[in-house]
Structure 1
Amino acid sequence: MTTQETTIPGSPSETGGNQPKRYLITSALPYANGQKHIGHLAGAYIPADIYVRYLRAQKRDVVFVCGSDEHGTAIPIQAMKEGTTPQAIIDKYHVIMKENFDDLSISFDIYDRTSNPIHHETAQEFFTYLNDRGELEIKESEQYFDEEAQTFLADRYIKGTCPNCGSDRAFGDQCETCGTSLSPDELINPVSTLSGKPPVKKATKHWYLPLNKHEDWLRNWILNEHQNDWKANVLGQCKSWIDAGLQPRAVTRDLDWGVKVPLPDAEGKVLYVWFDAPIGYISATKQWAINNDKDWKPYWLDKDTKLVHFIGKDNIVFHCIIFPVMLKLHDFIVPANVPANEFMNLEGDKMSTSRNWKLDMQDYIDDFIKKENGGPQMADALRYYLATILPETKDSEFTWKGFQDAVNSELVAIFANYFNRTFVLMHKLTGGKVPKFHNDIADAKDQDLMEEIRKAKTTVENLLEEYKFRDALFEVIDLARKGNKYMQEKEPWIKAKQTTADGVIVPEMQAQIDNCMHICLQLCANLAILINPFLPNTAKKMCHLMKVVDKMLDWENAGSLKLLSVGYSLRAPELLFRKIEDAEVQYQVDKLKAGLEKAKMENSQSSPQSTIDSQQPAEANQKSEIIKSEIQYDDFDKLDLRIGTVISAEKVAKADKLLKLQVDLGFEQRTIVSGIAQHFTPESLVNKQVIVVANLAPRKMRGIESQGMILTAEQPDGKLILVNPDAATINGSNVR
């Protein structure tokens, strides 16, 4: 086995030894108050696991930490709902979440919990360190107090009428109906959820972290030092917070559930969950170090450690502004990157636990992985689809039809098909062994594919280093696609028909077959290495079939054309994936809709309609369900809408819904892939003018880069019509 030597432009290996000594990778600590859905999985866990598996394959020193966030008001509230204790809730959901992550092959080095004594000690020490050095401020303020329950009320324990939409399903932090963020003082007619009585205002003392004192440092660190390597969505949100002016943030609250404030005059107070939860990364690292007889300190104190937080966009402020200030004040390292993802929607709507519009990890595990035809490969099937639709720069959408198409048309039809065809032909044409490669007859097609194999390592490596996981996975599948194309052009099965009188393949033809199968088998080995960060179970199965140890999956072996030795016998072919049947998709869609209806019924029984809702006519209610949330003119002004003319149109192979259009925008021609094939024939679109969203980020669909989107209108019967000018218009004209 040999290794192809490659370096990444600008990478540590090329720029003179700047590669960090070690990596500490974190995924957001999930609340232990209920099941977690695939939106959480796609936001913080799949991307982190891909990156960590890649780093491990690179033989880098990396620790991957996570754990259950078991404090905050969400826990006792869930306990009230289930008629049990907060401890019982965290014990229940911690186990469920840990098992879910295991079933979906998320490879944490430790999955800890913030109820562990080591975390309480670490969080209290952190608070004491900051407080003793005068880094915290004490303020007295008035907060809502329940006189009957004799307790201060956290935001979630206060309910009232929303000042924005009039719904009576609003809490002190957010309205459940319209989603508006609120403060308790904004609620109309607030009541305590504990007693049902109106609360009173009462003075209370709390400790604050004065973020306003650290604005200059934050501005320089985030907006100057990281302006070129952090995601635009992360930079934008941070800039918005800093420009608006940072305010002191309370680090304690009045609650009887959480980490106790370690001061004699702080009876009945705990550390605010936003303060104690990220410290969970540190306490989890400590626990990992104890478990493995290691020293935790270099991972948090050594400047030669690269700290990367994987989170969803709702956690950006905590991980990019608040926690870094805490770390800096404690002389800990600060994150090198926070590649936060946007949100993932489900079947055309936002995921919502309260409306039961979600796909829990447990439900997928029960319906696909634990079933008779499931197993680890079905975990990889979900990992694959989520990786292809990761909300890296904007919100994305999970659909069951999309899942089926991704598995059947890409994993099965391209990747697994190539691997299976190679093994079938190897057993049929080369005796089940790796054949010799004959250099003297190698042709241009052989050389081209070998070069693609060599290049793939660097291409995928660059993208993974930049957290562009969707693009990296596309390149891996595209390499398999190139392998299929090569095999189809070489046609070894046709060459095998040229035999001598005694039925033996003509030697010249056998040599050409050998070359084809040798390259195809080396490509199979490379695909196992490249797919491993994304689909670890699949990579292991490929190694099993190739009769090689998992050590082959080390990244240094990628790009090599000598991974499988000549004359080595390989196992009989086995299917890597099964197809997803239509009936399975329909079952999941029906199940989703049934869950939504059940939630509607339960909500209507548990909460009366608000006064405003009950006064609205049916037409208005229907309209409010259709119209999306209000935007400002600045949001609309971001769109660049242009007039274009379709100059050609054709169907996309193996895609029932897609058309490939060439659109003339006057100043340039664009390729646009549009899902309108069931509504328009290609010829009916040629010479038609359309409205194009010209500044939409490019997206690859079925291997074609789509450079925009055309506007259509959906009729009541579901049919689409083009949105176009009623008179001939110059191509490239702005639509305002």
Structure 2
Amino acid sequence: MSKIFISCALPYANGPCHLGHIRSTYLPADIYARYNRMVGNDVLMVCATDEHGTPIAVKADKENKKPIEISKRYHDMIVRDVESMNISLDNFTRTTDKAHYDLAQNFFKKLYDDGYIYREDIQQLYCPNCNKFLPDRYVEGLCPVCGSEARGDHCEKCGKALDPTELDEPHCITCGTTPIIKDTFQYAFKLSELEDDLKEYISSNENLPANVKNYATNWLKEGLNDWILTRDMDWGIPVPLDEAKGKVLYVWIEAFLGYISSASQWSKKSGKKWEEYWNDFVVHFIGKDIIYHHSIFWPGLLKAYGCKLPDMIYAGEFLSLEGEKMSTSKNWVIWIADFVKDFDPDLLRYYLTINAPLNKDSDFSWDDFQRRNNDELADVIGNFLHRTFTFTRKYFDKKIPEYANPSADDEEFKKAIEELPAKAGEYISNFEFREALLEIFKVAKKGNKYFNDAEPWKAVKEDMQKAANCLYLSNQLAKTLAFTLKPFLPTKADAIAKILNIDDLSDWSQANVFLPSGYEINKAKPLFKKIEDETIEAEKAKLQENLKENSEDENMSDLISIDQFDEVVIKIGQIKEAEKIEKSDKLLKLQVDIGEEKTRQIVAGLAKFYSPEELVDRKVCVVANLQPAKLFGTLSEGMILATGESGALLSPDENAEIGERIQ
């Protein structure tokens, strides 16, 4: 018996679970865990909600709540979603638990004391209005690569990973002020020193799947840089050093440790040592977007600490929706809570597993979901089971008949049943979950054909032994299906077992142990129902309605009250001087008269649309009560109103007086 430590990537507590979360991480982990428990391995499967970081802090600011209130709300939703999909976790905790804080701080302190973490002086964006340094998600601006709107850490449009200081036209998302660059310090991890160790780990680890190994190898070829481990913000685990007041641990050092703190919590409850599982075999189930973190950064941290490295990192590829990328911001997504209101979760578990290998991108389509349910679950597996149970009760008094004088077809079918558990089990052991389910489906399909060819409805009148052999073997396959489907469709497997009077599906070795003749079964009911066209059309309509509602919400979110608008002071101004700003192809420095004792200096992004000479003496509309800010090192004391794409100035009537307020 082996001990296996299974972890699921920590869901981030700023939203509930959708189909993509389940497909890439939690479902494959559950299939693997359930199977290994059935074959007698001692499994510990853990997870936690990742509750720190800037997105939660930003959401809390927007909702005028405390970050812990936001994370608690979504923790509860995520637990509900995971439980509704029958994910059999042994422990699910939170990274806001005190035990996790203690673990993370002790981990950081040891690496610091051992010389793997050092203080580094850096430059960082700082908001002079909010009086704080701005972590990546607190800054938005234009991507320096493609020019699209981007966050401080990432451009959605071109996929470029960014540093906030690289953004063009950056602004603080809290107040809109243009940040300045200011000297500060953070703590960095000597990842570069572990490059050779990590190359050896990746190249020699035969367990790693191709997508993980290839990604990691390519990154290692580029060379590793040291990694900043801390942030300037209030929400998070404080850095355990006296000189580091106001700094917290970066989420990607402490979130990993959620695997350990969750396991440690389980140990306290169970009395078992989680370390025994870790030291035997460790499997991380993750999404492909965090391969770098789990194949490079996490093993680097563990190596520095002196821990055993993960044996297996299995990364699920992306799931699209109706051929398009899922987007929570556009509400182009199916939430788990919505799905389970209308459908059995086992139907989703089946579809997400059989639709594509986990190491390939996949798509969820309502039409294809209906087709697979109706053609495969209902027409093949469901039809086979229902006919088997119904004929057994009707023609053999609810009892499994005698098996005698088998034909060649009988023996061939019997062999397929006996071999199924080993074949499916080998696939699961090798993390080939789709192939295992396809093998199960193939034998179920063979069972349907065998049943049709045997024609027991005729044989009961002409050759009772032929009918008896057919129903004997069909019931044996039903039992084998109950066991082999248990990791994939646990609720449906239990329903099959109940009809067969089987109380326990926990032992995989019993999957091909045949039921004796004379064994009595219970009354059957249809286990898989067909999904009607009207139901699917309604679901597709919901998706479109979600898009529409999201668009309307975005429009409504742009509305402000008259009181808010009244706070903006817009005055008539006249440009007196204009000149280019050195090293900028976008910005001009303007001196603008707005009726005050001296002119205002304003930096405006007009250089691509106007020459300095064209602007002198032009009347313009000026936002006069903005917080002063520096752009390209030049003080700006207001904003000139112009259109976004063409840069056209909003010009007042010639009769408008300089300094007059627009109302």
TM-score of the aligned structures, taking structure 2 as reference length? 0.83
Contact 1:166 1:613 in 2 (8 A): no
- Among 341, 350, 365, the residue aligned to 2:340: 365
SS in 2 for 1:138: strand
Whole-Å Cα distance in 1 between the matches of residues 23 and 283 of structure 2? 17
What whole-Å deviation, never above 9, does each CA across 1:394-421 have from its counterpart, x for those lacking one?
Answer: 2110000111111111111111111111
Partner of 2:4: 23
CA distance in 2, matches of 1:344, 1:613: 35
Matches of 1:413 and 1:615 in 2, distance apart? 60
Matched, 1:119 2:119: no
Look at both structures and tell me which one has the larger radius of gyration over its CA atoms.
Answer: 2
1:343 aligns with: 318
SS in 2 for 1:297: helix
CA distance in 2: counterparts of 1:429 and 1:513, whole angstroms: 9
Aligned twin of 2:33:
52
Query: Residue type of the partner of 1:349?
Result: E
| 1:677-688 equivalent positions in 2, closer than 5 A | none
1:297 to 275, 284, 289: 275
For the residue of structure 2 that corresponds to 1:311, the secondary structure is strand
Tell me which residue corresponds to 2:85: 104
How far residue 342 of structure 1 moved from its aligned partner, in angstroms, is 1.0
Moved more, 522-531 or 209-218: 209-218
2: distance between equivalents of 1:83 and 1:589? 35
- Cα offset, 1:251, TM superposition: 1.1
The within-5 A match list for 1:356-435 is 356-368=331-343, 378-390=344-356, 392-435=358-401
1:130 aligns with 2:111: yes
- The amino acid across from 2:410 in the alignment is D
Which residue does the alignment assign to 1:708?
A: none
Letter in 2 for 1:326: L
Counterpart CA distance in 1 for 2:435 and 2:425 is: 11
| Residues 525 and 404 of structure 1, relative CA distance in 2, 3 Å threshold | same
In 2, Cα distance between equivalents of 1:613 and 1:567: 81
Tell whether 2:529 aligns with 1:578. Answer: yes
- Letter of the structure 2 residue corresponding to residue 529 of structure 1: F
| 1:339 alignment partner, SS class | strand
5 Å matches for 1:543-558? 543-550=497-504, 552-558=505-511
For the Cα contact (< 8 Å) 2:37–2:506, is it kept in 1?
A: no
CA contact (8 A) 1:545 1:572 kept: yes
> Is 1:39 matched up with 2:14?
no
1:422 touches 1:520 (CA, 8 Å); kept in 2?
yes
AA aligned opposite 2:35: Y
Letter in 2 for 1:463: Y
Residue of structure 2 equivalent to 1:493 = 457
**1:652-667 to 2 correspondence within 5 Å?**
none
Which residue does 1:559 correspond to in 2?
512
Matched-pair contact (CA < 8 Å) for 1:24–1:63: yes
Contact 1:166-1:612 within 8 A present in 2 as well:
no
Name whichever of 228-237 and 265-274 sits farther off.
Answer: 228-237
Determine the structure 1 residue equivalent to 2:135.
154
In structure 2, list runs of 5 or more residues that go unmatched.
Answer: 560-604, 606-641, 648-663
SS in 2 for 1:349: coil
Deviates more, 1:358-367 or 1:519-528: 358-367
Q: C-alpha displacement at 1:600, in angstroms? A: 3.2
2:626 is matched with: none
Q: Pairwise CA RMSD of aligned residues?
A: 1.9
Residues in 2 aligned to 1:358 and 1:143: alpha-carbon distance in whole angstroms: 35
Secondary structure at the counterpart of residue 340 of structure 1: strand
SS of 1:62's partner is strand
What's 1:189 paired with? Answer: 169
1:311 maps to 2:286: yes
Q: CA deviation at 1:179?
A: 4.4
In 1, Cα distance between equivalents of 2:183 and 2:646? 39
Alignment-mate amino acid for residue 32 of structure 2: Y
Please point out which of 399, 414, 424 is paired with 1:450: 414
Change in CA separation of 1:313 and 1:142 when aligned onto 2, cut-off 3 Å: same
Identity fraction in percent: 38
Alpha-carbon distance, 1:607 to partner: 6.7
SS of the residue aligned with 1:31? coil
Work out the CA distance in 2 between the residues paired with 1:22 and 1:615: 64
Contact 1:528–1:553 (CA under 8 A) maintained in structure 2:
no
Q: TM-score, normalising length from structure 1? A: 0.75
Tell me which stretches of 4 or more aligned residues in structure 1 moved more than 6 Å.
Answer: 610-613
3-state SS in 2 of match to 1:265: helix
1:175 aligns with 2:151: no
Letter of the structure 1 residue corresponding to residue 435 of structure 2: D
Q: What is residue 259 of structure 1 aligned with on the other side?
A: 237
TM-superposed deviation, 1:299:
2.8
Deviation digits for residues 376-434 of structure 1, max 9, x if unmatched? xx110111111112452221100001111111111111111111110011011211111
Q: Distance in 1 between matches of 2:261 and 2:546?
A: 38
1:82: Cα distance to partner? 3.1
Q: Structure 1 399/237 Cα, relative in aligned 2: closer, same or farther at 3 Å?
A: same
Asked if the contact 2:482/2:497 (under 8 Å) is kept, the reply is: yes
Alpha-carbon distance in 1 for matches of 2:342, 2:193: 52
Give the structure 1 partner of residue 425 of structure 2.
461
> Which residue does the alignment assign to 1:234?
212
SS in 1 for 2:316: coil
Residue identity opposite 2:102 in structure 1: E
Cα 1:612–1:431 shift into 2, 3 Å: farther
Q: Do structure 1's residue 527 and structure 2's residue 474 form an aligned pair?
A: no
In structure 2, distance between residues paired with 1:68 and 1:339: 19
Matched, 1:205 2:156: no
The within-5 A match list for 1:465-476 is 465-476=429-440
1:514 deviates by: 1.4
Please give the per-residue CA displacement for 1:507-549, whole angstroms capped at 9, x wherever unaligned.
xx22222111111101110011110000011111111111111
Aligned residues: 566
Give, in whole Å, the separation in 2 of the partners of 1:518 and 1:394.
40
Structure 2 CA distance for partners of 1:272 and 1:573, relative to 1, 3 Å: same
Structure 1: give runs of 5+ residues left out of the alignment: 1-18, 369-377, 499-508, 617-736
- The 8 Å contact of residues 46 and 92 in structure 2, kept in 1 or not, is answered as yes
Q: Equivalent residue of 1:338, what SS?
A: strand
**Letter in structure 1 aligned against 2:318:** F
The CA distance in 2 between the partners of 1:276 and 1:391, in whole Å, is: 31
* Per-residue Cα deviation, 1:244-288 (whole angstroms, up to 9, x for no partner): 110000111111111111111110011100110010000000001
Q: State the 1:198 CA deviation.
A: 1.0
From 437, 441, 463, the equivalent of 2:403 is 437
Give 2:657's aligned residue.
none
Per-residue deviation, 1:585: 0.9
Do the aligned partners of 1:42 and 1:390 also contact (CA within 8 Å) in 2?
Answer: no
